[in-house]
Every structure is written in structure tokens, then in C-alpha cells.
């Protein structure tokens, strides 16, 4: 994922897509074209801000809602799904190749906070453990998982991401850290925070 302050010109975006496809071919890697490369290879800083504000999950009543994945171009290439992919990219195993390190760290930390809030919202309870947080974002209520849900796999990396995100929320007073792996929260406070996300420009 290539993040820039402003949108890329069409010509530059086409060059980026071509370079990425060529890199895959040079190394004998398959090309996954379910989502257009122009959609998943580039984002702006405003896109990151929207992704970490959970805009792609907010329903009309300001509650978190995960829409089922529809394997059709109109859904996979939509702005809503694109923001889901961007949040996933920042909170799944990846490598930082270069650029503004401070800005990257800011984006990564904001994404970890957002994923922790997503887990809290999907869990619904007043008490959440790291294991239940992992379950909340790796398994949907209908049994959907991985690419059919939020794209996450239960692993040590995800546990670390959620732990750091929950620690941020504890520092803000949104949750209370009981013992480092168990957290308590007031759903009304969480809902107020989620409602405020809609007002973020």
C-alpha cells in the first residue's frame, strides 16, 4: 500500500499498478485480481483517517455493522470495502519499505486503536479478554471468517495488535485494564466515542 498526502494522477497510478504487477511476475507470484489493483495499492492520508475512524462500519444508528462480503466488483471495488482493506493492511503483518516513519507510526497506532474499538463493538459485552477480542474480529456471527469476514487470522501478531490498541483505549479512559489481558468497559461510553467518529472530517 502506497500512501500519499494527495491523490495520484491517473498516469502515476497506472505506473504504480504496472510496477506492482511486474514485481509479482518477476518473482513468480500470482496476481489476485478480485480487487482492482488501482483500488488496493494506493491511499491518501485522508483515506487512512476515514479507515481508522471506522467509517466503513458505521450504520445509520451509529452502531458498528460489518456488511457481508459480496464477491462482486461493485462491492470489492467500493469505497467502503477499500477502507476495510486499508485498515486491515495497517493491522496485519506487513513491512514498512520507506517514507515518513513518524507518519507511518501515527497511522499504524491509530489503526490498532480502531481495530480494538471494532473488537469491543462486535463483542457487545462489558468485559473483554484478548482471546474474545480476537474471536470478535476473526469470526462473524454467521460463521464467516478470513476473506469472507474481516480478513484476519487468529495469530500472535493479531493478539499483539489488539493488546496495543486496548492499551491505548485504557490510557484514554475508554476501557479499564484489569490485568493486561482482560478489560472492562461501559458500552454507553463506547457508543459515545463511536458516535463522535462520524463528526471527524
Q: Tens of pLDDT along 69-109? A: 999 999 999 999 999 999 999 999 988 888 899 999 999 99
Residue (of 77, 103, 79, 78) closest to 90 by Cα position: 103
The predicted model scores a pTM of 0.90
* Assigned domain for 61 exists: yes
129: exposed, middle or buried (C-beta count within 10 Å: 0-12, 13-18, 19+)?
middle
Return d(Cα 130, Cα 169) in angstroms, integer: 14
**48 located within any domain:** yes
Task: Write down the pLDDT at residue 26.
Answer: 84
Give a yes or no: residue 84 inside a domain: yes
For residues 27 and 32, what is the distance between their CA atoms, to the nearest angstrom?
14
What are 129-181's pLDDT values in tens digits?
Answer: 999 999 999 999 889 999 999 999 999 999 999 999 999 999 999 999 999 89
Residue numbers of the domain that contains 64: 44-197
In a domain, 27, yes or no: no
- List pLDDT tens digits, range 55-69: 899 776 667 889 999
Number of domains, the chain = 1
Amino acid at each position: 500500500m502506497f500512501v500519499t498526502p494527495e491523490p495520484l494522477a491517473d498516469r502515476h497510478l497506472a505506473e504504480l499498478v504496472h510496477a506492482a504487477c511486474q514485481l509479482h511476475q518477476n518473482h513468480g507470484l500470482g496476481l489476485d485480481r478480485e480487487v482492482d489493483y488501482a483500488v488496493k495499492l494506493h491511499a491518501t492520508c485522508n483515506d487512512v483517517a476515514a479507515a481508522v475512524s471506522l467509517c466503513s462500519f458505521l450504520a445509520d444508528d451509529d452502531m458498528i455493522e460489518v456488511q457481508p462480503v459480496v464477491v462482486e466488483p461493485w462491492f470489492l471495488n467500493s469505497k467502503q470495502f477499500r477502507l476495510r482493506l486499508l485498515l486491515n493492511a495497517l493491522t496485519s503483518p506487513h513491512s514498512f519499505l520507506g517514507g515518513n516513519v513518524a507518519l507511518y507510526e501515527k497511522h499504524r497506532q491509530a489503526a490498532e486503536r480502531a481495530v480494538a474499538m471494532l473488537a469491543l463493538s462486535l463483542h457487545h459485552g462489558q468485559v473483554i479478554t484478548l482471546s474474545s477480542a480476537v474471536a470478535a474480529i476473526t469470526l462473524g456471527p454467521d460463521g464467516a471468517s478470513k476473506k469472507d469476514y474481516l480478513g484476519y487470522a487468529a495469530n500472535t501478531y493479531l493478539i499483539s495488535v489488539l493488546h496495543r490498541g486496548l492499551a491505548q483505549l485504557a490510557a484514554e479512559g475508554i476501557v479499564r485494564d484489569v490485568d493486561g489481558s482482560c478489560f472492562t468497559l461501559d458500552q454507553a461510553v463506547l457508543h459515545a466515542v463511536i458516535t463522535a467518529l462520524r463528526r471527524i472530517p
